[in-house]
Amino acid sequence: MKKLLKAISLLLGIVFLFGMFASCKTVDPSQDEGSDAISGTVEVYYWKSGVQITFLEKLKEAFESEHEDITIDLSGASADANVFFNTIDQGASINTIDLYIGTMGAFWNRTEYLEPLDDILDYTVEGESKPIGEKISTVSYKSDDNRTYALPWQESVTGLVYNKEMFAANGWDVPRTTNELIDLAEEIRQAQLKNDGDTVTPFIHFANGYWKYLIEPWWAQYEGVEQYNNFWAAKYVAEDGTVEQPSNLVWKQQGRLEALKVLEELLSPDGSVYPESNSMSNTDAQAFFTNGKAAMMANGAWLETETKKELPQFEIMRTPVISSLGTKLGITEQQLCDTVDYVDGVTQTKPSGVSDEVIEQVRTARSITFTEAGNFHVVVPKYSDVKGATKEFLKFMYSDEGIRIMAENIESMPAAKLSTGEDVDTSSWSGFAQNNYDLQKQATFIYKRMNYALFYMTDLEEAWATQPASVFSNSNPASRMSAEELFNMLYNNMTGSRWQKYLIQAGLD
Amino acid sequence: MIEGQIAEAGNKRLFLKKKKQNFIRSLFIFCMIVLPLLNFLVFYLYVNFNSFFMAFQMQTGKGEMRWTLDNFRFFFDEFRYADSVLPESIANTMITFAVNLFTALVTSFLISYFLYKKMRLSWLFKILLFLPAIISPVVLTRLFSSVIGVRGPVMDILHILFGMEIPSGGWLGDDRYAMMAIMFYCVWTGVAGNMILFNGALGRIPEEVIEAAKLDGVNWYKELLIIILPLIWPTMTTLIIMATVNMFGASGPVLLLTGGENGTNTISYQIFIKVYNTKGAVNPQNEAAAWGMIFSVICIPIVFTLRYFLNKHFSEIEY
Amino acid sequence: MRTNVKKRIKKTPGQAVVFAIAFVIIAFFSLSYVYTLAWGFIAGLNTNDGLILKPFDFPEKLLFVNYVNIFSEFVIGGVNFGMMTLNSLWLTLGGAFLEVACATGLGYVTSKYRFRGSKLIHFVALLIMMIPIYGNMPARYRLVYQLGINDSVAYLITYTSGIGFNYLMAYSFFKSVSWTYAEAGFIDGANDFVVFFRIMLPQAMGPISALFVIQCIGIWNDYQNPLLYLRNMPTLATGLYLFGNEANAAGHLELLMAGTMVSIIPILVLYFIFNKALLNETVAGGIKG
């Protein structure tokens, strides 16, 4: 027995000794300031999403011809979306990437490893009239130190893509409001059109689908962009003006419920959604859609490049205005439709019985577009040893010359606009891309800011992005919920111990 | 005198030789156990101690590490939320455990038995049946989900044969059927999972015992139940205990087939996700440690009770 | 005179029915594996659109070039198919070798030698197999990253546990081997190393090879551990999983299928060569004590 105890205490001793040894680390990457060298090789990681890497190759070519002592290395590009998370906290001894270009998701909780990029925003490119910061409208600043750690590079338009050919062949009009959209969906269901043995459905989506590109604008249309942004700051403004932050009451914003109600009406009737939608991958759904199995699909400007097809018969429509906004503003559905026609420039006559103030609100609502700019960023690791060179490259990327190269090769306007305010040359772009550019120019962009700790330190709000569509169109009737039920459930999930947990995780308790 | 000196020298040589032998022996034993011992200390003892402490820690957003019972409190509070994955995870884990136990013990054994009895084409079946065990689950699940998919032959066959209505989302896409589909996968791939083990166990049964039974006029199912089964019982008990030890870890390939959607979550999948998917908070890892501890605590008495019961009521036959 | 007459056991009617049903069921499962694999290989010859829209129709054109293209197109994070195969190889062979070697050594020493702690080691080895531990993945994950053995060949160190099923097998095998040979060796002047490597180990080659093959199969097919710990050195299993998830697969389902099927060819080849040994050499053990 004594021997056994001796053996155990010896073992424990070794274990704890080891424990102390194991926690000895080398340099803490978040304390490593790296180097500002302005020459050398800049290793770029590019996330190969739907957008081809050609634009980067062209940027590299043009940049290197003007900067002989800097080489841009693009060989590490890959389609693995997790590379940033897997490498950023490893420090200079393991991670050699000097610049990340690609979707970062919630990178905000890694800012201790990132180089602030405010100096890029303050920089004015030689020969241009504006600093880079004024050319980009979708920059986000971290809520606790007001600095920017990431610059958006893509400002993709999203919305409801529709099959123009199918619409024209059947005499369907592009809906202006959500009520018109609901009626159109019903009409398509009744039509029972056939495509190679399948019945054409109004909509198609995929498992972690893109319906947020519609419900977030509808929500923002109803509540206003400021209230929408307040949600992402968990900032509740009471009617008497008092502010509570963080507050779970933001989950009760009426606009969210209104958006869910519309989606429910669109997706729940039988035959609304292509049958396998809830279990499909995005590429499968896109393939079915572009083969004419459904009339409309919530998607984004990358549809063409991702499916590697020319899609002249498809177009992203301007987001229909949520009809309950009309009710909120005290106008009828017909007046709302007329106002939409007016702000679109379809008619020149002002709608009767509608005040100028209301017209402006509808104009703003009509232009609200969700963009993934909140997801597509460039970031620089703080510990990189060629930060100066990297920043030179970024300044080039956001210069007018760089913007033109990107626009030509992505067939989309990047997040930065030309300093002269003029349009880019779209003559070589496809019809689909040109239409997207028109939408982009008039858009009031909303995006998930994620710069508030409650969101970037937790896994919140994933459910909102994916759950509603599958809940409303679930093939198991018993698993369906109404919009009210879902709305209440999403709020209840933010109460009690879950709310406490999120507050602790976010450091807001 | 000289004799004594010679004897003394001889003893000394012997003594040194013995010492050298003992030294080599100790060195040999040390070499054989050093790596496993270190591994045990580091990857078992240290990891499990750390895991124990992690369950009582919480990382706050301010970067501090708090000692707290909150991970456990949140675990139990989870049951209050309508969309909690916990009840579904526990239920699915138990179902998977039962199904896997069934295939591991019953079907594997029966298949091995029929092959042992030299059923027709058993040489071919032996080779084919072991295929799922050697092929990666990544490959098998990909093929499986296509074959049972909406465009696959299985749906068509079931519809033609039994008039079964195909759920529009496919089986894996419908929460009434997704778990069933995963269980079917487990049976499809696990049906001969322990064939090797039983093959070995059955192969060790002395021919004489079988012959003697035949001479006594014992028919085939009595032979199976009264003679063969008891003789391979140690294999059975080993499998039962090993399965029970991993009871709460039972899981089908959730990550590969459904990603936890449509009611297919299991405890082990949730724990894996909390480690693999940590883009946001650090706490999911502490949560996972707490969950693990709760289930370990529940499982330990079950395992020991079962082992006691199995040993008490069934004695091993030496042969 | 024929010496290998096939013994046809006469069956009773009841037995015949049961065996017939069993035959049908077993044949069904066996055929389903063959069908599924065959479909997989044919799917690799299809086009992307063909696979999405009509996966179970026989492809109009058989694109054998797909099986060639995977070596250049199938890339995850800069790691191509060939490199993934290499990663699978070193992880599998190294890991399996270490696991089996440690188990053999440990099993031999605890079954044949009496030294301070030998009983304790055996007891602890058995006890560990009985204690259910879930939830230590986070702690293990942290430790691996703290030690810096992630994303490197040093990760093989985690395969030196030596306990578990392999240990049981090694222990019970050596327990059953007579010590006389060893004694003869000692008398001839051999030391423990020589006795082990020259006398005892060769006798164990049968079960040890079987264990080695089983370990190889397990590690080759493991996608979870490399996913967690070897993110930048993906193996085939992990690579196949990641490729299937990514935009790379978009428009390239045929490559995914081709890559998937190519990845199992080495295992299938090994299996068809060694299956007799595999099926005959394993011996069931029991948890005693």
Give residue C107's pLDDT. Answer: 93
Report the range of poorest mean pLDDT among B15-19, B296-300, C194-198. Answer: B15-19
- Confidence band for A103, pLDDT divided at 50, 70 and 90: low
Could you tell me if B90 and B34 lie in one domain? no
Give residue B67's pLDDT. Answer: 93
Residue B243 and residue B101 in contact, taking contact as beta carbons nearer than 8 Å:
yes
Task: Using alpha carbons, select from C211, C163, C204 the residue that is nearest to residue C182.
Answer: C204
The CA distance from B6 to the nearest CA of chain C, in Å, is: 23
- Are the beta carbons of B133 and C121 separated by less than 8 Å? no
Select from C7, C131, C140 the Cβ nearest to the Cβ of B43. Answer: C140
Residue B268 and residue B248 in contact, taking contact as beta carbons nearer than 8 Å:
yes
C102 reaches B (C-beta below 8 A): yes
- Give the single-character DSSP code of A151: E
Q: Kindly provide the ipTM of the predicted complex, given to two decimals.
A: 0.82
Specify the CATH number for A31-155+372-442; select among 3.40.50.720, 1.10.10.10, 3.40.190.10, 3.40.47.10: 3.40.190.10
Give residue C289's pLDDT. Answer: 29
Q: Which domain holds residue B203?
A: 73-313
Q: What is the mean pLDDT of residues B275-285?
A: 72
Could you tell me if B41 and B78 lie in one domain? no
Set of chain A residues whose Cβ sits within 8 Å of the Cβ of C73: none
Give residue B224's pLDDT. Answer: 86
The CA distance from A178 to the nearest CA of chain B, in Å, is: 26
- Are the beta carbons of B168 and A85 separated by less than 8 Å? no
Residue-averaged pLDDT of chain B:
86
Partners of chain B (3+ Cβ pairs below 8 A): A, C
Residue C24 and residue C38 in contact, taking contact as beta carbons nearer than 8 Å:
no
Give residue C6's pLDDT. Answer: 47
Report the range of poorest mean pLDDT among A319-328, B11-20, C26-35, C90-99. Answer: B11-20
- Are the beta carbons of C129 and B267 separated by less than 8 Å? no
- Confidence band for C2, pLDDT divided at 50, 70 and 90: very low
Select from B58, B174, B280 the Cβ nearest to the Cβ of A504. Answer: B58
User: What CATH architecture does domain A158-370+452-506 belong to?
Assistant: 3-Layer(aba) Sandwich (3.40)
Give residue A5's pLDDT. Answer: 58
Set of chain A residues whose Cβ sits within 8 Å of the Cβ of B41: 11, 14-15, 18
- State the burial class of residue A285 (Cβ atoms within 10 Å of its Cβ: 0-12, 13-18, 19+): buried
Whether A334 has a pLDDT exceeding 70, the answer reads yes
Could you tell me if B188 and B236 lie in one domain? yes
Could you tell me if B171 and B222 lie in one domain? yes
- Confidence band for A24, pLDDT divided at 50, 70 and 90: very low
> Higher confidence at residue A208 or residue C185?
C185
Give residue C77's pLDDT. Answer: 67
Could you tell me if B34 and B156 lie in one domain? no
- The pTM for the full model equals 0.84
Question: What type of residue is A127?
Answer: G
- Find which of A15, A268, A455, A461 to mutate to test the B interface (most B CBs within 10 Å of its CB): A15
Q: What is the mean pLDDT of residues A114-121?
A: 93
Q: What is the mean pLDDT of residues A321-344?
A: 96
Give residue C284's pLDDT. Answer: 40
- Find which of B83, B155, B179, B291 to mutate to test the A interface (most A CBs within 10 Å of its CB): B83
Q: How far apart are CA A485 and CA A328, in angstroms?
A: 22
Look-up of token digits 């044969």? B161
Whether C286 has a pLDDT exceeding 70, the answer reads no
3-state secondary structure of A494: coil
- Are the beta carbons of A277 and B82 separated by less than 8 Å? no
Question: What type of residue is A17?
Answer: L
Q: How far apart are CA A200 and CA A16, in angstroms?
A: 66
Backbone angles phi, psi at C13, to 5 degrees: -55, -45
- State the burial class of residue C236 (Cβ atoms within 10 Å of its Cβ: 0-12, 13-18, 19+): buried
- Are the beta carbons of B204 and C284 separated by less than 8 Å? yes
The CA distance from B88 to the nearest CA of chain A, in Å, is: 14
Whether B314 has a pLDDT exceeding 70, the answer reads no
Question: What type of residue is B175?
Answer: D
**What is the token pair recorded at B106?**
């019953």
The CA distance from C276 to the nearest CA of chain B, in Å, is: 9
Could you tell me if B7 and B152 lie in one domain? no
Q: Give per-residue burial for A32-48: e unless 16+ CB within 10 Å, then b.
A: bebeeeeebebbbbbbb
Provide the chain C residues 27-56 that lie in CB contact (below 8 A) with chain B.
27, 29-30, 32-37, 39-40, 43, 54-56
Give residue B48's pLDDT. Answer: 92
B120 belongs to a structural domain: yes
B10 belongs to a structural domain: yes
Same fold, A31-155+372-442 and A158-370+452-506: yes
Q: What is the mean pLDDT of residues C60-84?
A: 82
pLDDT tens per residue across span C137-165: 888 988 998 888 888 899 999 999 888 88
**What is the token pair recorded at A502?**
């999120």
B116 belongs to a structural domain: yes
Q: What is the mean pLDDT of residues A215-234?
A: 94
Could you tell me if B162 and B30 lie in one domain? no
Give Dmax over CA atoms of chain A in angstroms: 99
Measured from the Cβ of residue A416, the count of other Cβ atoms closer than 10 Å reads 26
**What is the token pair recorded at A194?**
């056939």
Could you tell me if B38 and B90 lie in one domain? no
Partners of chain C (3+ Cβ pairs below 8 A): A, B
Give residue A108's pLDDT. Answer: 79
Question: What type of residue is B317?
Answer: I
Set of chain C residues whose Cβ sits within 8 Å of the Cβ of B118: 7, 9
pLDDT tens per residue across span A431-442: 899 999 999 999
Q: Give per-residue burial for B188-207: e unless 16+ CB within 10 Å, then b.
A: bbbbbbbbbbbbbbbeeeee
Nearest CA in chain B to C120: B37
Whether C1 has a pLDDT exceeding 50, the answer reads no
The CA distance from A303 to the nearest CA of chain C, in Å, is: 11
> Higher confidence at residue A309 or residue A188?
A188
C17 reaches B (C-beta below 8 A): no
Whether A265 has a pLDDT exceeding 90, the answer reads yes
Could you tell me if B13 and B119 lie in one domain? no
Conformational region of residue C101, where left means phi above 0, alpha means psi within -120 to 50, and beta covers everything else:
alpha
Could you tell me if B21 and B124 lie in one domain? no
| Cα–Cα distances in angstroms (integers) from residue B190 to residues A22, B185, B252, in the given order | 40, 8, 11
| Cα–Cα distances in angstroms (integers) from residue C59 to residues C48, C255, C256, in the given order | 11, 15, 16
Report the CATH number at residue B131. 1.10.3720.10
Quote the percentage of chain A above a pLDDT of 90.
55
Give residue A18's pLDDT. Answer: 58
Report the range of poorest mean pLDDT among A448-452, B23-27, B112-116, B246-250. Answer: A448-452
Q: Give per-residue burial for C143-180: e unless 16+ CB within 10 Å, then b.
A: bbebbebbbeeebbbbbbbbbebbbbbbbbbbeebeee
Conformational region of residue A127, where left means phi above 0, alpha means psi within -120 to 50, and beta covers everything else:
left
Could you tell me if B14 and B128 lie in one domain? no
Residue spans per domain, chain A? 31-155+372-442, 158-370+452-506
Nearest CA in chain C to A285: C52
Give residue B217's pLDDT. Answer: 82
pLDDT tens per residue across span B44-64: 999 999 999 999 998 887 778
Give residue A450's pLDDT. Answer: 76
Report the range of poorest mean pLDDT among A163-167, A175-179, B184-188, C207-211. Answer: C207-211
Give residue A451's pLDDT. Answer: 79
pLDDT tens per residue across span A457-486: 887 766 677 788 888 988 888 889 999 999
- Find which of A458, A476, A481, A508 to mutate to test the B interface (most B CBs within 10 Å of its CB): A476
Q: How far apart are CA A98 and CA A387, in angstroms?
A: 7
Nearest CA in chain A to B37: A11
Whether B132 has a pLDDT exceeding 50, the answer reads yes
Residue-averaged pLDDT of chain A:
88
Partners of chain A (3+ Cβ pairs below 8 A): B, C
- Give the single-character DSSP code of B166: P
Give Dmax over CA atoms of chain C in angstroms: 75
Give residue C285's pLDDT. Answer: 39
Q: What is the mean pLDDT of residues A394-409?
A: 93
Give residue B163's pLDDT. Answer: 83
Whether B13 has a pLDDT exceeding 90, the answer reads no
pLDDT tens per residue across span B262-279: 899 999 999 988 888 766
Quote the number of domains for chain B. 2
Set of chain B residues whose Cβ sits within 8 Å of the Cβ of C136: 47-48, 51, 289, 292
- Confidence band for C4, pLDDT divided at 50, 70 and 90: very low
Select from B36, B43, B110 the Cβ nearest to the Cβ of C102. Answer: B36
Residues of B with CB under 8 A from a CB of A: 41-42, 45-46, 49-50, 58-63, 66, 70, 73-74, 77, 80-83, 150, 167-170, 172-176, 261-262, 278-284
Whether B30 has a pLDDT exceeding 80, the answer reads yes
- Are the beta carbons of A306 and C250 separated by less than 8 Å? yes
